[in-house]
C-alpha cells in the first residue's frame, strides 16, 4: 500500500512539474507575440500557443480546426499556406512564407519546422505565425522607391531597362517584335517657367497617370526623365499597337488638363519609335534609337511621331563619329578661318569681312559648320571654339589694319550659348583692348533665337556692348523666331536678310514684297541692311534697287583664306 501511495505522490509531483513547464512554455511563447501551432502525428496532439486570439476567433482542438485556419488568408496565398501547413516535402525540414490576410491590410510570416524520427517519419511539427505588416509595408515602400517613379507610379528608368531586357529575351525566343516608344512633352520648359515647378510636376503626374492606363501584361511604362516617358510594347497589335496608343494620346492632349489651382493647361507631345529587332537588339540600343527619332520629331515641328530607320541610324552613327572627332579637334583647336567680303551695293566698295570657321577632320575631309556647330553647342565646347574664333579673327584683322591701313569692319558670329554666358561682354571688351582694336571695327552677329529666351538680359548686354562702341548685327532675319516686336527699340546696327529670301526674290512676288518691306522698315529704324547669299548680278541689282545697303555672297566673293583677303586689300 505504501508503495502505491509513493507512486501516486511521484505522479502528482511529475504533473506539477509538467504544469510548471507548460506555464513556462506558454510564457515564452507569449513573450514572442506570435501564435504557435504544435502538431504530433503519432499521438494526434494538436495545440496552440502564444497570441492565438490575435489571428483566430476559434480554439484549436482538432485537425478540422487546423483546416479552418486557411480562411483568414487571401485567396492568392491559400495554396502556398496549405502546402506549408499540411504537406511535408522530402528533405525540407524548414519553410518560411509571407502571406497576406484576406482583409488586404495585414501580412504574416509563417515559419514551419519539422522534426523526423529515425525512420524518417514526421514526429512533430511547429508552425509560428508572426505579424510582419509593418516590416512588409516598409519593404514595399523600399521596393517602390527602388523600382517606381514616385510622381507617376510608373517604373523608373533603371527598372524599365531591366524589364525591357526581359521582354527582349522573351521576344528572341518567340520570334516576335518589341516596340519602344519615347514620349516627350513639347516646350515643357515654358510650362515650368510660366507656372512654376510645382505645377510642372502636376502636369507630369497627370499625364503620367493617363499613360499608366496603357500598362498591361504586354506593355510596360516608365517616367524616364523629367517630362520624358518610355514604353515598351511586346508583340504590338490591336489596342496595344503603336497607332492605337498614339491616337489615344492625341485625343487626350487635344483637351486641356485641369490643375489643382483651377487653371487649365494644354500641350502637345513628340514621339519616337524604335522596334526590335530592326532598330537594335539591346535595351539601351533601342531606347537610344527611340530617343533619337523623338528628338527628330521635335526638330520637324513637334506634335508628331517619327520611326527609327536605317537612314536615321546612319545619320546618328555619322553624328556620333563627328562628335568624337570634334572632341579631339577642340582639344587641339584644329580649325581655321575663312573670310567672306561684304560690299556696299551703291559703289561696290569693300565694307568689311565676315569671319567663318572651317574644320577638316583627321582624314582631310571638310566638315560643314551646319553639322559640327550644333554638336559643339550641345556639348558646350562652342564656348572655347567661340573664344578661339573671336581672338584669332581679331588678331588677323589687326594685322591687316596695320599693314594696309584700310577702314573696314570685322563681323564675327556669336552662338547663343556664348551670348548667355555671364562673362561674355567682359571677354569681348578684353579681346578688343588686348589687340588695340577700335570697338566700332567689330560687329557681332547674333541670331534671332537669342532674343527669345530672355529679351531683357539680351538687350542689357547689347546696350553695354554698343555703349563701348561695338556694332550689333541681327543675323538670319526672317527665319524661325522673326517678330517685328523684337525690333522695336532693339539696340542693333545691322539687319541681315536671310539667304532663303534672296534665293527666291527674282521668281516669287510675295518674297520680293516682304524683302522690300523689311529693307524699308530697317532703314526707317536706323539699321543698315545686309543681303547674304547673293549669287547673281540680277539678284544684286534688284536688292540695290530695293535699297539694300550691303551685299554679301558668291557673286562678289565666296569665303576665302586670309591670303586672298590681303590680295583684295592690295587692290582697294
Pick the CATH number of 148-308 from 3.30.390.30, 1.10.10.10, 3.30.70.270, 3.30.70.1380: 3.30.70.270
Element (H, E) at 244: helix 242-253
CA dist., res. 557 & res. 559, Å (int):
7
Extents of the domains making up the chain = 24-136, 148-308, 326-571
HEC secondary structure over 133-166: HHHHHHHHHHHHHHHECCCCCCECHHHHHHHHHH
Comparing CA positions, the residue from 197, 101, 196 lying closest to residue 151 is 197
Q: Is the dihedral of CA 59, 63, 69, 71 positive or negative?
A: negative
CA dist., res. 502 & res. 533, Å (int):
7
CA dist., res. 140 & res. 146, Å (int):
10
Q: Which residues of 257-268 are buried (b: 16+ CB within 10 A; e: fewer)?
A: beeeeeeebebe
Beta bridge partners of 178: 234, 276
CA dist., res. 170 & res. 176, Å (int):
9
pLDDT score, position 122: 81
- With cell 572632341, the residue in question is 327
Comparing CA positions, the residue from 118, 145, 113 lying closest to residue 128 is 113
Cis peptide leading into 277, omega within 30 of 0? yes
Assign a CATH topology to domain 326-571.
Answer: TIM Barrel (3.20.20)
- For residues 49 and 38, the answer to whether their CB atoms sit within 8 Å is yes
Comparing CA positions, the residue from 482, 477, 412 lying closest to residue 443 is 412
| Exposure on the CB side of residue 428, measured as CA atoms within 13 A | 29
CA dist., res. 183 & res. 53, Å (int):
53
Instruction: Divide the 572 residues of the chain into consecutive groups of 10 and give the mean pLDDT of each group.
Output: 50 52 58 80 82 85 83 90 76 81 88 83 87 78 74 90 94 95 93 86 94 95 93 94 95 94 92 92 91 89 90 77 88 94 95 96 88 88 95 97 95 92 95 97 86 76 94 78 61 89 90 90 90 94 95 96 95 85
Strands 409-413 and 366-367: unpaired
pLDDT score, position 86: 79
pLDDT score, position 136: 79
pLDDT score, position 277: 92
Report the number of secondary-structure helices (H) and strands (E) in the chain: 21, 21
pLDDT score, position 473: 93
CA dist., res. 85 & res. 190, Å (int):
61
CA dist., res. 516 & res. 529, Å (int):
11
pLDDT score, position 22: 59
Strands 45-50 and 550-552: unpaired
- For residues 550 and 342, the answer to whether their CB atoms sit within 8 Å is yes
* Distance in angstroms between the alpha carbons of the first and the last residue of the chain: 149
Pick the CATH number of 24-136 from 3.40.50.300, 3.30.450.20, 3.50.50.60, 3.40.50.1820: 3.30.450.20
Going across the sheet that includes 45-50, the strands are 45-50, 35-40, 122-131, 107-116, 94-100
63 CB burial (10 A radius; 0-12, 13-18, 19+):
exposed
Beta bridge partners of 413: 445
158: Cβ contacts below 8 Å, ≥ 6 apart: none
What one-character-per-residue DSSP string does 195-214 give?
H-HHHHHHHHHHHHHHHHTT
- For residues 458 and 451, the answer to whether their CB atoms sit within 8 Å is yes
CA dist., res. 410 & res. 398, Å (int):
10
Q: What is the pTM of this model?
A: 0.58
CA dist., res. 271 & res. 306, Å (int):
6
HEC secondary structure over 483-542: CHHHHCCCCCCEEEECHHHHHCCCCCHHHHHHHHHHHHHHHHCCCEEEEECCCCHHHHHH
CA dist., res. 300 & res. 274, Å (int):
17
- For residues 469 and 490, the answer to whether their CB atoms sit within 8 Å is no
pLDDT score, position 483: 52
Comparing CA positions, the residue from 239, 320, 224, 318 lying closest to residue 272 is 224
Comparing CA positions, the residue from 412, 413, 380, 377 lying closest to residue 396 is 412
Amino acid at each position: 500500500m505504501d508503495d502505491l501511495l509513493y507512486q501516486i505522490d511521484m505522479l502528482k509531483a511529475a504533473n506539477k512539474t509538467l504544469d510548471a513547464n507548460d506555464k513556462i512554455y506558454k510564457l515564452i511563447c507569449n513573450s514572442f507575440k506570435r501564435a504557435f501551432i504544435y502538431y504530433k502525428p503519432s499521438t494526434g496532439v494538436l495545440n496552440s500557443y502564444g497570441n492565438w486570439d490575435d489571428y483566430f476567433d476559434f480554439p484549436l482542438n482538432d485537425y478540422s480546426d487546423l483546416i479552418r485556419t486557411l480562411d483568414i488568408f487571401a485567396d492568392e496565398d491559400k495554396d502556398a499556406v496549405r502546402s506549408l501547413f499540411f504537406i511535408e516535402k522530402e528533405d525540407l525540414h524548414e519553410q518560411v512564407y509571407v502571406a497576406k490576410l484576406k482583409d488586404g491590410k495585414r501580412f504574416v510570416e509563417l515559419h514551419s519546422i519539422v522534426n523526423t524520427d529515425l525512420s524518417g517519419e514526421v514526429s512533430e511539427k511547429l508552425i509560428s505565425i508572426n505579424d510582419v505588416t509593418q516590416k512588409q509595408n516598409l519593404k514595399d515602400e523600399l521596393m517602390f522607391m527602388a523600382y517606381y517613379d514616385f510622381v507617376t507610379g510608373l517604373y523608373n528608368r533603371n527598372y524599365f531597362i531591366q524589364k525591357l531586357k526581359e521582354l527582349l529575351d522573351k521576344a528572341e525566343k518567340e520570334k516576335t517584335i518589341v516596340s519602344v516608344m519615347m514620349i516627350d512633352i513639347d516646350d515643357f520648359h515654358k510650362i515650368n517657367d510660366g507656372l512654376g515647378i510645382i505645377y510642372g510636376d502636376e502636369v507630369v503626374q497627370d499625364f503620367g497617370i493617363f499613360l499608366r492606363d496603357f500598362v498591361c501584361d504586354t506593355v510596360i511604362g516608365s517616367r524616364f526623365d523629367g517630362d520624358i516617358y518610355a514604353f515598351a510594347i511586346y508583340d504590338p497589335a490591336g489596342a496595344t499597337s503603336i497607332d492605337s496608343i498614339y491616337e489615344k494620346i492625341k485625343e487626350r492632349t487635344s483637351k486641356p488638363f485641369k490643375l489643382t489651382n483651377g487653371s487649365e493647361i494644354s500641350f502637345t507631345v513628340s514621339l519616337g519609335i524604335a522596334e526590335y529587332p530592326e532598330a537594335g537588339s539591346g535595351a539601351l540600343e533601342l531606347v537610344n534609337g527611340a530617343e533619337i527619332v523623338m528628338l527628330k520629331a521635335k526638330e520637324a515641328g513637334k506634335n508628331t511621331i517619327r520611326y527609327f530607320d536605317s537612314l536615321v541610324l546612319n545619320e546618328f552613327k555619322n553624328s556620333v563619329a563627328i562628335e568624337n572627332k570634334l572632341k579631339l579637334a577642340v582639344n587641339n583647336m584644329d580649325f581655321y578661318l575663312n573670310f567672306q567680303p561684304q560690299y556696299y551695293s551703291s559703289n561696290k566698295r569693300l565694307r568689311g569681312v565676315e569671319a567663318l570657321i572651317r574644320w577638316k577632320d583627321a582624314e582631310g575631309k571638310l566638315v560643314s559648320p551646319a553639322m559640327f556647330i550644333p554638336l559643339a553647342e550641345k556639348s558646350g565646347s562652342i564656348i572655347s571654339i567661340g573664344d578661339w574664333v573671336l581672338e584669332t579673327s581679331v588678331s588677323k584683322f589687326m594685322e591687316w589694319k596695320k599693314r594696309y591701313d584700310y577702314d573696314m569692319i570685322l563681323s564675327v558670329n556669336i552662338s547663343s550659348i556664348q551670348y548667355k554666358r555671364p562673362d561674355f561682354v567682359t571677354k569681348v571688351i578684353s579681346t578688343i583692348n588686348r589687340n588695340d582694336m577700335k570697338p566700332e571695327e567689330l560687329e557681332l552677329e547674333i541670331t534671332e533665337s537669342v532674343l527669345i529666351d530672355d529679351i531683357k538680359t539680351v538687350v542689357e548686354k547689347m546696350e553695354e556692348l554698343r555703349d563701348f562702341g561695338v556694332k550689333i548685327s541681327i543675323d538670319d532675319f526672317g527665319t524661325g523666331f522673326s517678330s517685328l516686336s523684337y525690333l522695336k527699340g532693339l539696340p542693333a546696327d545691322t539687319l541681315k536678310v536671310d539667304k532663303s529670301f534672296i534665293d527666291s526674290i527674282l521668281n516669287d512676288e510675295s518674297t520680293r514684297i516682304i524683302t522690300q518691306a523689311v529693307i524699308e522698315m530697317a532703314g526707317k529704324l536706323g539699321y543698315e541692311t545686309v543681303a547674304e547669299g547673293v549669287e547673281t548680278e540680277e539678284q544684286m541689282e534688284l536688292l540695290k534697287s530695293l535699297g539694300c545697303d550691303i551685299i554679301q555672297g558668291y557673286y562678289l566673293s565666296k569665303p576665302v583664306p586670309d591670303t586672298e583677303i590681303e590680295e583684295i586689300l592690295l587692290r582697294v
